[in-house]
Structure 1
């Protein structure tokens, strides 16, 4: 089952959606309980829970309900990643397909794995296996870490000089006295750096402090950098038989490359998913740029949990001048008038997308 299939009659006037799947760090104390609230009792969640029990892990229903939220527990990769996926899956299955059509799917970092399920390149259970396996591998290795720092001003206007200075820091710090520092993610108006402790410490000393920034991301390894080479090797062995196939709708990866239903080579898709994207920078900015330019969506949808990816996505839209946007104020004005970016972690925005009643099942 994919989140793109629809067996009910549809209208030719459906709005076009670009779906942007969330990555790590989006399930926090505020989101605790949302999975059971949205999907408790659903057959697909029962299957997810059964898979977790077979792996001798707490079920997602238990983590989201019976076990009080603890960052030290819920933030671990083997729990956080599947929880985020399940929350996003519940949101995606709730979208009213008589009013909306998903025309393309992308995601941020771990969101690429969710995108595979949404687009139908993996079934939902195989996607859970992929996401849980990768989350556990990352947690057990926990090679390096990530630090985030903005290169736009408070109005989200680009400061290209600052951006170049930040990128130059990588060259200056990396390789000096044992320091390793890399660009990890291009995240809208922010750069995510990955490195070892020495490299991240020197970065923190080199950048001017801003409110709560630079920010070290909790229980994040140096994703999308060469420090994940060991994880890459292990993942390719452990997931050699991962049954990836051509998607049902186009997917945009962390390079801005489009994988289409009619041209995708499943072996190349496997090689990218368990190869390059693990050890090379993930360009979320490019993914959004390609999504809005190539697929002309009416709206951009970010499933839950949370809504933290909304700011980064909006910053890309400002950089592109999409629909005349040139600042944070302009974006907020557009949102107030007719929101083009809908974060399903925000109840009133979610309500615009879902069926009139959610009493109907969310999937078989």
Structure 2
């Protein structure tokens, strides 16, 4: 009997030094005409835009923070890795019952569910990544809501919201909640606000506060102009009804037979661009509504695994109460399978 699978698509920040050559290792080397043709069409599109082909970026001898994390490069590169991973899922073993994603992963989720057919997905994802890079406004910063055992810290959220309000009372500062990311809160804001926020946040867990390199103030009102531009140049004719249920960054479900395409277009290039993205809610709704036997996280990388686990712990899913519970579960019978990890990948691929 097939296992029901929820597929989660990754966002920006998942293709790093360790992922260099991901396409070559996991996809080009294993062959497959469907993937080869997809990569060729993506490269051809990039060349027509006078941009570096994805195969060339993935094939570099060394990772360049400056080149590989740029929005106009990172977005289509992550799209290529994730979509190829989706094509590698063993459909004899897994019945994909729903798809969701984190932040930019929403566009990839649209591609996976065929709400954006391949040419449209290439155009939308490449265009949005390019627009973000050309109009790089502000940035993002991450701070934890949980302790090192992934238990919510009492009063932490309220304290952070009070601090955000305090920062916004200062001259020229604009700070917003960008993403609810499991056990972490992602702030988006302008440089003045982020600098003041970072000054006032105490160091935590050896890496927070964490400023994200080459990220704009995604999912905040600072990007309304980019949203307006995107809606003018990316028409709703690029969108279709999904073939799989989609769970968006509000926890709203887009069903194959009831999707209003005009609304999907407006959400994707409107609300989703300049209002907060609640990835935690997306995970919660997905598991409660579709009761998957497994959660499959598409690559590249495995950084999203912690956020997914934390989102599950937040709702005490299947008795998970802390990091130790999740690790024990993963050792016995892995519930979350990250395709960016070779051992877990082998449990997913045909």
The TM-score with structure 2 as length reference comes to: 0.96
Say yes or no: does 1:117 pair with 2:111.
yes
Query: Contact between 2:236 and 2:265, CA under 8 Å: does it hold in 1?
Result: no
SS at match of 2:155: helix
Distance in 1 separating the partners of 2:169 and 2:42: 43
Q: In the TM superposition, what is the alpha-carbon distance from 1:90 to its structure 2 partner?
A: 1.2
Q: 2:88 aligns with which of 94, 98, 102?
A: 94
Distance in 2 separating the partners of 1:212 and 1:15: 37
Unaligned runs of 5+ in 2: none
User: Runs of 4+ in structure 1 displaced over 3 angstroms?
Assistant: none
Q: 1:232 aligns with which of 224, 227, 234?
A: 227
- Hey, what does 1:359 align to over in structure 2? none
Q: 2:277 aligns with which of 241, 266, 282?
A: 282
- Hey, what does 1:37 align to over in structure 2? 25
Q: In the TM superposition, what is the alpha-carbon distance from 1:201 to its structure 2 partner?
A: 1.1
Q: In the TM superposition, what is the alpha-carbon distance from 1:37 to its structure 2 partner?
A: 2.3
SS at match of 2:172: coil
- Bigger shift: 168-177 or 115-124? 168-177
Write out aligned runs for 1:239-278 (5 A). Answer: 239-278=234-273
- Bigger shift: 232-241 or 136-145? 232-241
SS at match of 2:166: helix
The TM-score with structure 1 as length reference comes to: 0.92
- Hey, what does 1:17 align to over in structure 2? 5
Q: In the TM superposition, what is the alpha-carbon distance from 1:36 to its structure 2 partner?
A: 2.0
Distance in 1 separating the partners of 2:61 and 2:227: 32
Say yes or no: does 1:132 pair with 2:157.
no
Distance in 1 separating the partners of 2:148 and 2:92: 39
Say yes or no: does 1:325 pair with 2:320.
yes
SS at match of 1:182: strand
Q: In the TM superposition, what is the alpha-carbon distance from 1:212 to its structure 2 partner?
A: 1.6
Write out aligned runs for 1:38-53 (5 A). Answer: 38-40=26-28, 42-53=36-47
Distance in 2 separating the partners of 1:339 and 1:125: 35
Q: In the TM superposition, what is the alpha-carbon distance from 1:242 to its structure 2 partner?
A: 4.7
Distance in 1 separating the partners of 2:75 and 2:164: 28
Q: 1:75 aligns with which of 59, 63, 69?
A: 69
Write out aligned runs for 1:176-255 (5 A). Answer: 176-210=170-204, 211-255=206-250
1:187-216 residue CA offsets vs partner (Å, 9 max, x unmatched): 000000000111111111222111121010
Unaligned runs of 5+ in 1: 1-12, 356-364
1:243-274 residue CA offsets vs partner (Å, 9 max, x unmatched): 11111111000000000011100000000001
Query: Contact between 1:126 and 1:242, CA under 8 Å: does it hold in 2?
Result: no
SS at match of 1:179: coil
Distance in 1 separating the partners of 2:139 and 2:38: 33
Q: Over the residues paired in the alignment, what is the CA RMSD in angstroms?
A: 1.0
SS at match of 2:63: coil
1:67/1:133 CA distance change after superposition, 3 Å? farther
Q: 2:14 aligns with which of 26, 29, 50?
A: 26
- Bigger shift: 237-246 or 78-87? 237-246
Say yes or no: does 1:308 pair with 2:298.
no
SS at match of 2:73: helix
Q: In the TM superposition, what is the alpha-carbon distance from 1:226 to its structure 2 partner?
A: 0.4
Distance in 2 separating the partners of 1:249 and 1:111: 15
